[in-house]
C-alpha cells in the first residue's frame, strides 16, 4: 500500500522527520502514532500529494502521490464544519462523487443509487435526510466515511476518526472500519492518539519517534519500551487471560 | 415637520407605480435581488457574512471618491470592492482569524469615505444614497450593467457550482480531491464584490446584510437543499423589493426601509415555520 524510501518530511525550512524507509503491506489496517507535533498530519499530506517529501521517494498504491488521486478516500479531522447547518448528510456524501466536477450537470440516477447504497453500507441511511448539525459525532463520522467511500477508493485515510467519540461510538466506528477492510479488501491508514480501541483490528503502525518514521507490525509496536519512549510517559502493556491486549499509563 | 405631514398616503400610487422611473427601479431591484439570492447561500456556507459587510464598507470611499473626482459612483464602488475582494481572498482562511485587522481597515475605509464625501461637496443625498441605498435614484442606463453583472454571476456560478460547494463545506477533502480551493475562494470573492456593489445601490452600505444574507438565512430555515435554498433566497429577495417599492410609492418615502422590513418579516416568519415543522416531524425528509 505504501512504500517509503529514505523519505524526509520538511515544512518550510524545518525537517520534521527523516530516514523514513518502510513498507506498509497492501490491504493492511495501519495506525499512525506519535506525540503532538511529530509530523503525523505532514505524513498524511505527503500521501495525499499535497506536500512533496524533502527527500526520498514515496509510492502510494504503486504510484508517486498525486493530488486528486481518486484511489484514496480521505476523512479529515474535525469533520463538523461551520457549514453543518446548511447541508444535508446525503448531499455531503454526493459531494464525494461529484464535488470535483465543473459545469452544470444533473446528478444521474446511477449516482443517486450509488449514494444510497453507500449510506446503507455505513449504516447512515436512516439519517441521510438530516442536516449535518443535527447528527451526533458518531453519525457524522459515518457520513464522512461514506463520503470517502463513495468514489470506490482502494485505501482509506482517516485523521483522528475516534476523537471526540464516546467509547460505544468508538467501538462502532472501529467495527465499521474492520468490516470495510475485510469486505472491500481495501487498506486503511488512521492517525490515532490512543491505540487501545484499535488494537483488535490493527495490523501494524507507522510511528514517528525521535525525528524518524518507522513501520512495525502490531506485536512489535505494542511494547512497553517503545510506547513509553514514544509518549514520554510510562506505559504498561497488558494482555488479559482472553488474549485481549491493551495499554495503560503505568 | 410633524409625523402626520411627513407620512402621507398617496392616493395616486398606482399611477406612480406605472411611471418610467418606478419601472426602472423595479427592474433594477429584481436584478439585484436575484443576484443576491444566487450568492447568499454560499455567503452563509462559507461563513463570509463579515466579508460581505466588509466589502460594502470598503466600497464606500470608492463611491464617494468617484463623486470627488467626478466619475461614476457605481464604477468607484465596483473598483474598490473588487480590489478589497482580491485582498481578502488572498488572505483566505486567515481573514477569518483577523477580525481585528479587518475591523480596523473597515473603520479607516469608512473614515476615508466620509472625508471624500465632504471634500466632494456633493449634496448630502448622494452620501445618504450610498449609505442607505435608493432604488429610485438608479439611472435607466445602469440596468444594462446590472443585467451584465447578473449574467456573469449566473454563468460563473453554474460552471463552478459543485467544486465551490465542496470547497466551501469541506475544504480539506476538496483540496485532496484536486479542487483548487484557493482559486475558487478568490473567484467567489470577486463575484461577491460585484453583488455587493449592486446591492449597495438598493439598500446601501449599512443595510447590505438584509439583501445579501437574510434571504438565504430565511430560506435555510426551511430547506438545506442547495438548489432550493438559492431559489427561495432569490424569491424572498424579489418579493421584498417588489412589496417594498409598492409601499414606498403609497407613502412617497424612500424604499430601503420597506424592503429591509419585508425581508425582516419574512425571516421571522421562516423562523416560526421551522419551529413548527421541527415540532411536527423530528427527522428531516429523505431524497
Tens of pLDDT, residue by residue over B27-42, are 999 999 999 999 999 9
- Cα A46 from chain centroid? 14
Contact between chains at B165 and A68 (C-beta distance less than 8 A): no
Task: Delimit the domains of chain B by residue range.
Answer: 11-272
Nearest to B163 among A70, A100, A129 (CB): A100
Closest CA to B28 of B192, B188, B152, B150: B150
- Place A82 in a pLDDT band, splitting at 50, 70 and 90: low
A127 touching B (Cβ < 8 Å): yes
Most distant CA pair in chain B: distance in Å?
64
Task: Delimit the domains of chain A by residue range.
Answer: 1-71+153-218, 80-151
Which residue on chain B is closest to A127 by alpha carbon? B283
- Place A43 in a pLDDT band, splitting at 50, 70 and 90: very high
Question: What's the whole-number mean pLDDT along residues A107-130?
Answer: 95
Nearest to B224 among A82, A88, A98 (CB): A88
Alpha-carbon distance B153 to B199, whole Å? Answer: 14
Q: Is B109's pLDDT higher than 70?
A: yes
Q: Is B185's pLDDT higher than 90?
A: yes
pLDDT score of B193: 97
A147 touching B (Cβ < 8 Å): yes
pLDDT score of B287: 38
- Angle at B267 (CA atoms; ends B266, B271), nearest 5 degrees: 115
Q: Which residues of B touch A120 (CB under 8 A)?
A: none
pLDDT score of A243: 58
Q: Is A209's pLDDT higher than 90?
A: no
DSSP B168-220: HH-HHHHHHTT--HHHHHHHHHHHHHHHHHHHHHHHTTTTHHHHHTHHHHHHH
Q: Which residues of A touch B160 (CB under 8 A)?
A: 102
Q: According to the CATH classification, is domain B11-272 in 3.40.109.10? A: no
A186-198 burial, b if ≥16 CB within 10 A, otherwise e? bbbbbbbeebbbb
Contact between chains at A99 and B165 (C-beta distance less than 8 A): yes
- Place A196 in a pLDDT band, splitting at 50, 70 and 90: confident
Q: Which of B48, B93, B163, B224 to mutate to test the interface with A (most CBs of A within 10 A)?
A: B224
Would you tell me which CATH number, out of the four given (3.40.50.300, 3.30.70.1400, 3.30.750.24, 3.40.47.10), belongs to the domain A1-71+153-218? 3.40.50.300
Instruction: List pLDDT tens digits, range A17-34.
Output: 999 999 999 999 999 988
Closest CA to A200 of A26, A32, A31: A31
**Phi-psi map region of A78: left, alpha, beta (phi>0 left; psi -120 to 50 alpha):** left
Alpha-carbon distance A29 to A52, whole Å? Answer: 24
Question: What's the whole-number mean pLDDT along residues A58-72?
Answer: 93
Nearest to A81 among B158, B163, B170 (CB): B170
Grid coordinates given for A57: 521517494
Tell me the ipTM for this assembly: 0.89
Grid coordinates given for B286: 429523505
pLDDT score of B1: 55
Decide the pairing of beta strands A2-11 and A55-60: antiparallel
A128 touching B (Cβ < 8 Å): yes
Identify which has the larger pLDDT, A211 or B213: B213
Q: Is B235's pLDDT higher than 90?
A: yes
Amino acid at each position: 500500500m505504501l512504500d517509503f524510501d529514505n523519505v524526509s518530511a520538511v515544512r518550510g525550512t524545518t525537517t520534521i522527520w527523516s530516514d523514513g524507509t518502510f513498507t506498509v503491506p497492501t490491504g493492511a489496517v495501519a495506525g499512525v502514532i506519535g506525540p503532538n507535533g511529530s509530523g503525523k498530519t505532514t505524513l498524511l499530506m505527503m500521501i495525499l500529494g499535497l506536500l512533496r517529501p524533502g527527500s526520498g521517494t514515496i509510492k502510494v498504491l504503486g504510484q508517486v502521490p498525486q493530488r486528486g488521486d481518486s484511489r484514496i478516500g480521505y476523512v479529515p479531522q474535525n469533520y463538523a464544519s461551520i457549514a453543518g447547518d446548511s447541508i444535508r448528510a446525503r448531499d455531503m456524501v454526493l459531494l464525494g462523487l461529484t464535488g470535483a466536477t465543473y459545469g452544470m450537470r444533473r446528478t444521474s440516477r446511477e449516482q443517486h443509487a450509488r449514494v444510497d447504497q453507500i449510506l446503507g453500507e455505513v449504516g447512515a441511511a436512516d439519517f441521510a435526510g438530516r442536516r449535518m448539525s443535527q447528527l451526533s459525532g458518531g453519525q457524522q463520522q459515518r457520513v464522512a466515511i461514506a463520503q470517502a467511500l463513495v468514489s470506490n477508493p482502494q485505501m482509506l485515510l482517516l485523521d483522528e476518526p475516534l476523537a471526540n467519540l464516546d467509547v460505544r461510538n468508538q467501538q462502532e466506528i472501529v467495527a465499521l472500519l474492520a468490516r470495510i477492510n475485510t469486505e472491500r479488501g481495501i487498506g486503511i491508514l488512521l492517525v490515532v492518539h490512543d491505540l487501545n480501541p484499535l488494537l483488535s483490528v490493527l495490523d501494524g503502525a507507522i510511528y514517528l519517534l525521535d525525528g524518524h518514521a518507522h513501520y512495525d507490525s502490531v506485536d512489535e509496536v505494542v511494547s512497553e519500551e517503545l510506547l513509553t519512549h514514544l509518549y514520554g510517559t510510562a506505559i504498561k502493556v497488558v494482555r488479559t487471560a482472553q488474549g485481549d491486549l491493551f495499554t495503560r499509563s503505568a | 415637520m410633524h409625523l402626520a405631514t411627513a407620512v402621507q398616503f398617496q392616493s395616486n400610487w398606482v399611477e406612480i407605480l406605472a411611471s418610467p422611473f418606478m419601472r426602472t427601479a423595479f427592474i433594477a431591484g429584481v436584478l439585484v435581488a436575484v443576484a443576491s439570492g444566487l450568492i447568499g447561500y454560499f455567503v452563509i456556507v462559507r461563513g463570509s457574512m463579515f466579508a460581505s459587510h466588509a466589502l460594502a464598507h470598503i466600497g464606500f470611499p470608492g463611491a464617494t471618491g468617484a463623486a470627488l473626482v467626478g466619475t461614476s459612483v457605481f464604477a468607484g464602488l465596483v473598483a474598490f470592492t473588487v480590489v478589497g475582494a482580491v485582498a481578502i481572498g488572498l488572505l483566505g482562511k486567515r481573514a477569518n482569524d483577523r477580525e481585528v485587522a479587518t475591523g480596523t481597515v473597515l473603520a479607516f475605509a469608512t473614515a476615508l469615505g466620509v472625508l471624500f464625501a465632504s471634500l466632494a461637496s456633493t449634496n448630502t443625498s448622494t452620501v445618504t444614497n450610498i449609505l442607505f441605498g435608493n432604488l429610485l435614484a438608479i439611472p435607466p442606463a445602469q440596468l444594462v450593467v446590472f443585467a451584465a453583472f447578473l449574467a456573469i454571476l449566473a454563468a460563473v456560478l453554474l460552471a463552478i457550482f459543485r467544486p465551490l460547494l465542496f470547497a466551501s463545506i469541506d475544504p480539506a477533502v476538496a483540496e485532496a480531491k484536486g479542487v483548487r480551493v484557493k482559486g475558487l475562494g478568490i473567484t467567489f470573492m470577486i463575484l461577491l464584490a460585484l453583488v455587493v456593489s449592486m446591492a449597495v445601490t438598493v439598500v446601501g452600505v449599512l443595510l447590505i446584510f438584509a439583501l445579501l444574507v437574510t434571504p438565504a438565512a430565511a430560506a435555510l430555515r426551511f430547506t438545506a437543499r442547495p438548489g432550493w435554498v438559492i431559489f427561495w433566497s432569490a424569491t424572498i429577495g424579489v418579493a421584498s423589493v417588489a412589496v417594498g417599492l409598492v409601499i414606498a410609492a403609497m407613502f412617497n418615502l424612500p424604499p430601503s426601509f420597506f424592503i429591509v422590513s419585508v425581508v425582516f418579516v419574512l425571516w421571522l416568519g421562516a423562523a416560526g415555520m421551522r419551529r413548527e415543522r421541527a415540532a411536527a416531524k423530528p427527522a428531516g425528509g429523505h431524497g
